[in-house]
A and B are shown apart, each in its own frame.
Chain A
Amino acid sequence: MKARTEGANASAYAYVQPAPGRAEIAALVALAARRVAPLWPLQSAIAVNPLSGFEEMAFDQAVARAAAIFGARDSLSIETWRNLVRAQQIDIAALKKVAIARLGGLVPAFAPIGPDVSRLDLLMARLMDLPPPDQPATAGGADPGAALIAKWCAVFFDQGQAACAMPGRDLGLYRAVVALIGHDRDYRRLAGDVGQRVVHCVPRDPLDAIAEGVEALKIPSDEIEETLAALVARLPGWAGHIRWRSEYAEPSDSAGAPAGMADLLALWILLERAGIMAPPPALWPAACDPRQLAMHFGLGQSQCASQWGAIEAIATVRQSELAHMFMVAAEQGFRDTLIPALTAASRSGATQQAPDAQLVFCIDVRSEPFRRALEAQGAFETFGYAGFFGLPIARHRHDRGRRQRLLPVLLAPQHDIAETPVPGYDVDALVRSEALHQHTRGLLGTAKHGLGSAFATAEALGLVAGGIMAARTLAPRLMQRVMQAINPDIEQAMAPALDTHALHPDFPAFTLAEKIGYASLLFRMTGMSKQTARLVVLTGHGGAAVNNPYAAALDCGACGGHPGGFNARVMAAILNDPAVREGLADEGLSLPATTLFLAAEHNTTTDQVTVFDIDQVPLSHKGDLAALRTAFDRAGQANRTQRAIALGRDADDLITGSCHWGEVRPEWGLARNAAFVVGPRWLTRARDLGGRAFLHSYDWTTDPDGTTLAMILTAPMVVAQWINCQYLFSTIDNHRYGSGDKTTQNPVGRIGVVQGNGGDLRIGLPRQSLFSDDGSPYHIPQRLLTVVHAPFDRVEAVVTAHDILSRLFGNGWVQLVAIDSATGDARRWAADAECAPNPPACQENRP
């Protein structure tokens, strides 16, 4: 336990290598920090790949390595996979194909082992039948050190939950904790007197503390980076939060409480020096006994002897490899049904029909079923575009101090947009009600914590609380209507102010040139033609959930985990600006004067669509709008009915769930996401993609040099890959890569959740977002399949020109299939592992 305790002779130790200096340590800390992914506060939840620090490696190696480091599973259990096959979620024929490929082809796979037993039978038996596939793993030991640091991180990073903040926060995480930890009985119990001595003598600067600790612990200089990275990985949640704070947060979020990864590592080093060690890692089962396999087929002594090598080879296939085969089977089965449909559509080509209205939706997988339902209602043409509509903006809400970043986290906001009252709304009432709210909240908050007032507050509010509780539980929709009647609709009453910069009132938020630029980008990226319909509706999306820490995870990821309506309104305002129209015309995009752009927001939980600024629609377009809104209602009803089946509830209950405070699964979110299709809508329109595909509109004919394709693949597709990986890993190990059961979660510091009484800040998604009520995975863990409709050579040129793409496709994090626009043939980009040593040249033809 105390192997690394500072010995009495530590000072007498003579070093062969020079001790690393501060700058060197700082560089090593920065490298170690990359071991974990940044973690956004749940208020603006962003999907990230928990293994983003491993993307330099091939997928299966990365998963195995991360599993060892994070103490996580590397796949679903074999039993869970088998159940998915039995439930026909995975095609058994696809699994057989994968097994045959694993055995080296048809001939070796069908080579007989005994009477009517082939090697394939043996392998399939291991995949599907042989008990016990998952021995109970030896769980990792307790990690009291992690619990200790997690506790201190929780108080330090608290954003306003505790009435009484941690003393000394302004000193920084490390110094603040060092000042208190000597009084901590958990620390005393774990570290004893050594701990007290260490606390007194460690340097107060985190980098110095790490440098000194590295020496004292005698860590060889070539192991420092790995040691630090392993320490970072022991609390991926809080370490991820630190990454968010240092790389993505507003400066105001960390004001008065500075902390970097060095602080966290200095604390870990302190614990190591005090002798608090890491627990033994969890061990997962590996393989099975060859004799068991032979017995399963009743193979006699003689056959066993002659074929022992073959039997042993199959018996020793690791469990993790078996699990990987299931995943590959799921991917292949999906690919083999999707690609032929798309190639067939590609060969038959587009069918032109003048639309009554055009709608631009987010690429989100939840748009696809709604678009399909809407297209069935009339002559509507739909497009897929990143839901922030290409606008790198931040919103300054009139009622919040903090600006909202409404753009993908890969970008930085370029425009700060304020809000202005919409004519016709009672702004005074709005301000009044807002002031009363603020005041009541403040008063209640203060009264609840006051030593003199806490008791009377509970007594005075008891009956009111009882009434609210009953209403929210038994009549949530009535309650919601009452609340809406009391509170004015702020979203409709305030519109984005494009002509004033939120921070510098003398400047506009956009220059005309910028507006024209964003407007023409929309046409370039989606391939929308300049012959626009009378109505073009930019449709953002957001989820609806109450009392749900993960509510923001249902919102638009492209809008930084917020609803997308605001961006849609800004974009519509830009496109309706006559000066912008003139500018577009100068670029050769002269839109019909009859075209009106509108903004709307698709509520993905209830499938209701809110159209913004209806009062400003001119008389000439009222009829078009009325028809469209009828279509919205019908499409919403149809899609809700479909989604209700997958949720195991009735359609009306989805609306109740969206406002019920006990609803843990208002909708399935992006679960089951599997594909990212880049191409025109006519390619996919005939096919029901089951809400599993991100759809990005793209017309290769308008993109001669491939720049648009490069933008699509390097930005929205990367975001889709993050989402895909978040769902994948949260599913395969919901405790390490996901956030576990929602019902025992405990919101902490207003930024995230812990499980039960404490522990690490939880990353990933909760169990209810991924698993059905019966415990089977609803989300099938499989890697993203990107399909691009463009000439082969252009796709290849784009991929090879961008490191991130050759890495993602080459390392097998994403699969790429290109459908040649001329011939309709499909080709799959082979991962590096499949075709070393000449990766790019090797492409496999598929029918």
Chain B
Amino acid sequence: MPDAMPKSTSARGQHVLAAVSGMVAVPAVLLPWGGVIEHSRALGLVIGALTLFVALIVMAFAVRYLRADPRGAAFGVTLGLLVGCVLTCVATGSLFVLAAAWVASGRLLARLIGHDTTWPEARAAARRARHAFAVGDSALVAGLLVLGLSTGSAAISPVLAQSATLAGPTGAAAALLLLIAAAARCALPPFAGWLASSMTAPTPVSALMHAGLVNAGGFLLIRFAPLFEAAPLARLAAIAAGLGAALYGLGVMCVRPDIKRSLAGSTVSQMGFMIMSCGLGAYGAALWHIVAHGLFKAWLFLGSGSAIGIGKTPAAPGLTHSIKGCAILVLAGALVLTWAGHMDGALVPLLLALATAMVTLNAGLGTQMPMRSRLAATAILIVLAATQAIGVWLTTVAVGHEGSMVLPGWALDGVLAAFLGGWVWQAQRRSLPRRIYVHLLNAGALACVGAGEPA
């Protein structure tokens, strides 16, 4: 018994070592092929740093958490390779390498979802992920092929430089194919099922998946922004798909009684919002959303074991009225901006953030709490709002280009009104129509749940 300790510690050390070597080896092998991207390098840096940070935390967490996992070694290796693939994806300058790393990361992710190979449910979930990725990956390969063939280059930078000149149908087809690839990876409907049924993966895998892997779709859209700028149809499709996913995912989040699938619903919703922002041309805001949401969601997943203890979270008092008031105020502001001709796609996420800040500030100030607590709450909220503003500004600078208008001002007001109106409706605690409730509840249900347990 006494010698079990050093042995298991060194075994764990090996897993970490294997993971780290995977992280290093994949980029080291693949990146020399076609070199690194010359175009908008900050994007790769930001997402690479996020992925590395979350991977580091997840590895450190898993060393303890997966201590008794008989497949711990396989986990370490797969995780390392996966992170290596993501890093390659964001850094590479070659279309081929991008496609290879993208496809490989999907396969590795499916393997982590089916981590417990003796469990039929885990195998089914992995299969579902593989199927979704097969569609998305085919679209990606096809899209990149179209781009490569029509521009005659296998490197990303020249393709991006020429993409603005790509004539109508070719550019639109390539952009739509890339959008499908992004939607599959971001788990936007109709691909949402793989993410919603991926709870067979151990908790740290979920954390990494929701923080690092689903973002690949957003990365793709921002990376190929010049192409999308030239293909308004694809951008409209992105807005529609994103808006739909944002509403759908939020619905799933609100009806699920289990914490992990509720978080998955939230991720679908957040990814939808991010893709929608890309479609609107708010690339900077989308990138900040990727970073902040990644950290936020990883935190929630790793902390999911705390969701025990009877008792509803108390609703913040007086919120309904303040939501209504703020929503009307913000919408009125948007209409004024539209009338003045200053409404812009990038303003939609900002105006929603403004509404949130107004509502929370109001809730922080206008309560029965002692003055000191109110001031403390307000100060915290101001700091948070400032962080977000600075974050968005920094990522906007990093991306370096803002999108052009694809929707007229009144349509942007419509998008904004959809969110704000839905919020007001929600705040009045209306219950969902039965059919919709059941549909949301069944999101991502596997036919064989409860069918068998791990052997």
State the A residues within 8 Å of B (CB). 41-43, 139-144, 146-147, 150-151, 154-155, 157-167, 179-180, 183-186, 189, 253, 400-402, 431-433, 435-436, 438-443, 445-466, 468-470, 472-474, 546-549, 551, 645-646, 648-650, 657, 660-665, 735-736, 740-741, 743-752, 754-760, 767-768, 771-775
Contact = CB atoms under 8 A, between A and B. Distances in A.
B288 interface: yes
A446 B310 contact: no
A372 to B, nearest CB: 19
Interface string B369-392: 110110011001000110110011
Given A151-B441, A456-B357, A758-B449, A750 B309 contact: yes
Contacts of B420: 451-452
A19 to B, nearest CB: 33
B168 to A, nearest CB: 33
A455 B384 CA distance: 13
A189 to B, nearest CB: 8
B164 interface: no
A195 to B, nearest CB: 14
Given A167-B431, A451-B419, A443 B451 contact: no
B14 interface: no
30 contacts: A139-B452, A142-B450, A144-B447, A147-B450, A151-B441, A159-B312, A160-B313, A161-B259, A163-B253, A432-B369, A435-B370, A443-B364, A450-B323, A452-B323, A457-B356, A459-B353, A462-B294, A469-B295, A549-B307, A661-B61, A662-B60, A662-B63, A662-B204, A662-B302, A663-B65, A743-B202, A746-B199, A746-B304, A757-B121, A759-B450
Contacts of A443: 316, 360, 363-364
B197 interface: yes
B64 A662 contact: yes
A646 B1 CA distance: 7
Contact of A750 (B310, B356, B422): B310
A143 B450 CA distance: 7
B313 A445 contact: yes
Contacts of A440: 377, 380
A771 B68 CA distance: 8
Given A451-B422, A455-B273, A757-B199, A662 B61 contact: yes
Contact of B310 (A160, A179, A457, A462): A160
Contacts of B8: 648, 773
B260 interface: yes
B306 interface: yes
A180 B437 contact: yes
A162 B262 contact: yes
Interface in B418-455: 419-420, 422-423, 426-427, 431-432, 434-435, 437-439, 441-442, 444-455
Contacts of A735: 453-454
Given A155-B257, A442-B313, A750-B309, A664 B65 contact: yes
A183 B196 CA distance: 20
B451 A435 contact: no
A465 B355 contact: no
Interface string B260-277: 111000100110010000
Given A446-B316, A458-B289, 8 more contacts: A183-B435, A183-B438, A442-B315, A447-B356, A452-B422, A455-B246, A456-B388, A772-B4
A456 B419 CA distance: 12
Given A164-B254, A442-B315, A662-B61, A450 B423 contact: yes
Interface residues of B, number: 131
A462 B427 contact: no
A140 B293 CA distance: 41
Nearest to B386: A460
B184 interface: no
A338 B259 CA distance: 46
A155 B116 contact: no
Given A150-B450, A167-B434, A767-B68, A452 B293 contact: no
B69 interface: yes
Nearest to B276: A455
B299 to A, nearest CB: 4
A164 B431 contact: yes
Nearest to A743: B202
Contacts of B305: 547-549, 661, 745, 747
B391 A748 contact: no
A440 B450 CA distance: 37
Given A455-B273, A756-B121, A660 B291 contact: no
A775 B434 contact: no
Contact of B292 (A140, A442, A460): A460
B57 interface: yes
B247 interface: yes
A186 B439 CA distance: 10
B258 A748 contact: yes
Interface of B is mostly: helix
Given A741-B454, A757-B125, A757-B200, A147 B449 contact: yes
Contact of A454 (B4, B199, B250, B256): B250
Contact of A253 (B200, B310, B313, B373): B310
Interface string B391-414: 110000000000000000000000
A452 B327 contact: yes
B308 A751 contact: yes
Nearest 10 interchain pairs by C-beta: A462-B292, A142-B451, A452-B423, A759-B450, A147-B450, A160-B312, A445-B313, A465-B299, A466-B295, A456-B356
A451 B426 contact: yes
Interface string B211-255: 000000000000000000000000000000000001100110111
Contacts of B446: 757
A473 B61 contact: yes
A405 to B, nearest CB: 13
A432 B68 contact: no
Q: Which of A189, A649, A744 has the most CB of B within 10 A?
A: A744
B159 to A, nearest CB: 31
A752 to B, nearest CB: 8
B438 A162 contact: no
Given A743-B202, A755-B453, A439 B369 contact: yes
B296 interface: yes
Contact of B5 (A648, A746, A750): A648
A756 B199 contact: yes
Contacts of A771: 68
B257 A162 contact: yes
B289 A459 contact: yes
A751 to B, nearest CB: 7
B353 A438 contact: no
B319 A459 contact: no
B57 A473 contact: yes
Contacts of B254: 162-164, 449
B438 A180 contact: yes
Given A43-B309, A468-B299, A648-B5, A746 B258 contact: yes
Interface string B314-349: 111001000100010000000000000000000001
A461 B306 CA distance: 19
Contacts of B311: 159-160, 400-402, 750
B353 to A, nearest CB: 4
B111 interface: no
A186 B431 contact: no
B376 to A, nearest CB: 6
B369 to A, nearest CB: 5
A455 B349 contact: yes
A553 to B, nearest CB: 11
A153 B68 CA distance: 31
A166 B438 CA distance: 9
A35 B395 CA distance: 60
Nearest to B53: A466
Given A443-B360, A648-B5, A459 B449 contact: no
Nearest to A747: B307
B201 to A, nearest CB: 7
A773 B9 CA distance: 11
